[in-house]
């Protein structure tokens, strides 16, 4: 009925301009986490903390969060079909 092929073009332009501006800002402060105060090397956590976060959150909590998100999405999708 309607040609919607070109309707996403302004949105895509906005996203590309925003990402390029944000990327330019990030590159301009590159070695610093806090500009001219704290570098990336100074801000790194100890290895034991990083390992704990990887094993505790990365392999246990994150998959549970994904499972919960998928389950709730499917539940809401079913309810949407019932209401429609």
Q: What pLDDT score does 84 carry?
A: 67
The domain containing residue 82 runs over which residues?
45-84
Nearest to 42 by CA among 34, 51, 50: 34
Q: What pLDDT score does 19 carry?
A: 96
Three-state DSSP class for 5? coil
| Residue 43: C-alpha distances to residues 1, 34, 46 (Å) | 56, 9, 10
- Phi and psi for 25 in degrees, rounded to 5? -65, -45
Domain C-terminal end among 27, 43, 59? 43
Looking at the structure, tell me whether residues 60 and 73 fall in a common domain: yes
Mark the ranges of the chain whose per-residue pLDDT is less than 50: 1
State how many domains the chain has: 2
Looking at the structure, tell me whether residues 19 and 39 fall in a common domain: yes
Looking at the structure, tell me whether residues 56 and 80 fall in a common domain: yes
Q: What pLDDT score does 40 carry?
A: 86
Looking at the structure, tell me whether residues 81 and 49 fall in a common domain: yes
Q: What pLDDT score does 5 carry?
A: 64
DSSP structure class, residue 38? E
Burial (CB count <10 Å: 0-12, 13-18, 19+), residue 32: middle
């Amino acid at each position: 009925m309607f040609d919607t092929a070109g309707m996403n073009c302004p949105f895509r332009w906005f996203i590309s301009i925003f990402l390029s501006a944000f990327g330019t800002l990030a590159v301009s402060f590159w070695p610093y986490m806090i500009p001219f105060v704290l570098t990336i090397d100074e801000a790194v956590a100890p290895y034991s903390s990083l390992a704990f976060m990887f094993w505790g959150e990365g392999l246990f909590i994150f998959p549970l969060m994904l499972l919960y998100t998928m389950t709730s999405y499917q539940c809401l999708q079913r309810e949407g079909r019932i209401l429609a």
